[in-house]
């Protein structure tokens, strides 16, 4: 049941948020992992390459935080 000020039921809303957090974080993990792997052969003396590698690594960390948060919300962790 949804109340007047709710767009969808609380269960649907929470699963939507879980998809937005856990699902997107998992995809992000793969995406930035792939990006990081692609920069392995590039010249690390180049500051732009270093920026990209650092950015992708931080992306991996943030995505991991997201996945852990989604698992925590559902009582898995």
- The minimum distance between CB 76 and another protein, in angstroms, equals 12
CB of 60 to another protein, least distance (A): 9
CB environment 37-62: b (16+ within 10 A), e (fewer): eebeeeeeeeeeeeebbeebeebbee
The answer to the question of residue 67 lying near another protein (CB under 8 A) is no
Determine contact, residues 2/50, Cβ cutoff 8 Å: no
- 23 part of the interface to another protein, by CB under 8 A: no
Give residues with Cβ within 8 angstroms of 15, minimum separation 6: none
Question: According to the binding rule CB under 8 A, does residue 54 interact with another protein?
Answer: yes
Footprint of another protein (CB under 8 A): 5-8, 13-14, 17, 20-21, 32, 42-43, 46-49, 51-52, 54-56, 58-59, 61-62, 65-66, 69-70, 72-73
């Amino acid at each position: 049941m949804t109340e007047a000020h709710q767009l969808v039921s609380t269960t649907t809303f929470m699963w939507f948020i879980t998809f937005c957090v856990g699902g997107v974080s998992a995809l992000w993990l793969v995406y930035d992992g792939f990006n990081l792997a692609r920069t392995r052969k590039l010249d690390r003396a180049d500051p732009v390459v270093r920026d990209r590698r650092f950015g992708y690594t931080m992306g991996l960390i943030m995505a991991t935080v997201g996945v852990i948060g989604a698992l925590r919300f559902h009582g898995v962790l």
